[in-house]
Amino acid sequence: MRNSKKIMSILITLMMVLSLLPMGVWADTDTTGAGQEQPAGTADKATVTPATASAVVVPVDNPEEPLENEPVGDDQPNDGPLYTITIKIDPAKGGTVEMDGTAMSNGDKVTTSAAITLTAKANKGYKFDKWEVVTASAIEVATGAAVDYKENGESLTVTKSAFDLIVTALFKKDSSSGSSSGSSSGGSSSSSEAEQFYDVPKDSYYHDAVYWALKKGITDGTSEHYFSPLISCTRAQVVTFLYRAAGCPKVSGDMPFTDVPANAYYHDAVLWAYQNGITDGTTPTTFRPEWAVTRAQVVTFLYRYDGETVDGVENPFSDVEEGEYYYQPVLWAVANKVTEGTSATTFTPERSCYRAEVVTMLCRHLGK
């Protein structure tokens, strides 16, 4: 009996001790809520701690944007996007071009994302003149954010480019080399067709038009010996050509375009074109003189300058739709044999118009 009381006392004491302990110590089930359905929107949430203080989160709306504070070491590539350079050597064949010591041929293409250096080598009787850098669509470019290149005499180093380029090495006769050319034209200052422009071959479609324009004082080229036929013409140049063809009439009045300075070579030409209904500008207050002119704009300028309309002309071009501002001008150009299009069925109205094309259109219309 006494033992029974001792055992009972021990059991009561043990139960009192156990009652003071946390229930989770003895439980075999999770009482934290795991396994139960979580409130909507909470199960997928997590807090992420960056591994280092310089960790970067890529913006969701532009996952390909470069990481601004990503460390760049010497062992990490930092080349830009791929671009292609087409190498041209002018028709005068006054020299050659090398790339990093390797001889290049006319028309060779180089695709790279790294910097390349081109070196011009003049032939006997010639000397290097200059580099001409244009886009693949023949728009002249200057070094800047999109294209980074540096000229150093006969060398040209292209560091990067956001688009494909055409690079031409231009040479000219070396008058100090004596009579190596075998010409009796009187040296490099001759104005004869054989000597004036090195980049206008006699068998080119624009040869006669270029020299017609030269004789009429419409253009004198981009330099003494280069016409640059495959560079895109600017809007300022086209109205200047037309203005000169009209005899450079005197003008007066206010200039409506804020981007045409009073001292610009094309000021009077633009004002004349505006006053004669040849151009309305790109907006009521801007002319955009340095923009590349399109083929549609050129035929429109000519059409308005001519002042005539045509009827009953069939439209041969699938890319010239009725209702476009240049629809009637293109039909007028076809009827007057000013243009035959870029193919039998296309006119390519929005493509920039090359200098060779502009003087050819002018010659076909005004040189009759």
The domain locations on the chain are 83-176, 207-366
Tokens of 276: 């004669």
Rounded Cα–Cα distance for residues 173 and 238 (Å): 30
Q: Please give the residue that has the higher pLDDT: either 144 or 292.
A: 292
Report whether pLDDT(247) > 50.
yes
Structural contact between residues 133 and 88, judged by C-beta atoms closer than 8 angstroms: no
Rounded Cα–Cα distance for residues 259 and 247 (Å): 24
Structural contact between residues 170 and 129, judged by C-beta atoms closer than 8 angstroms: yes
Mean pLDDT on 70-80: 34
Which of 59-73, 127-141, 161-175 bottoms out in mean pLDDT, i.e. has the lowest? Answer: 59-73
Mean pLDDT on 24-43: 31
Mean pLDDT on 36-58: 28
Task: Tell me the average pLDDT of the chain.
Answer: 75
Helix (H) or strand (E) holding 13: helix 2-19
Which pLDDT belongs to residue 126? Answer: 86
Measured between alpha carbons, how far is residue 351 from residues 10, 204, 213, 251, 319 in Å? Answer: 103, 21, 23, 31, 12
Measured between alpha carbons, how far is residue 310 from residues 313, 332, 346, 347 in Å? Answer: 7, 6, 20, 18
Report whether pLDDT(112) > 70.
yes
Q: Please give the residue that has the higher pLDDT: either 140 or 221.
A: 221
CATH of 83-176, one of 3.30.110, 3.10.20, 3.30.300, 1.10.1740: 3.10.20
Mean pLDDT on 303-307: 91
Structural contact between residues 235 and 273, judged by C-beta atoms closer than 8 angstroms: no
The amino acid present at 255, given as its one-letter code, is M
Which of 23-27, 80-84, 88-92, 173-177 bottoms out in mean pLDDT, i.e. has the lowest? Answer: 23-27
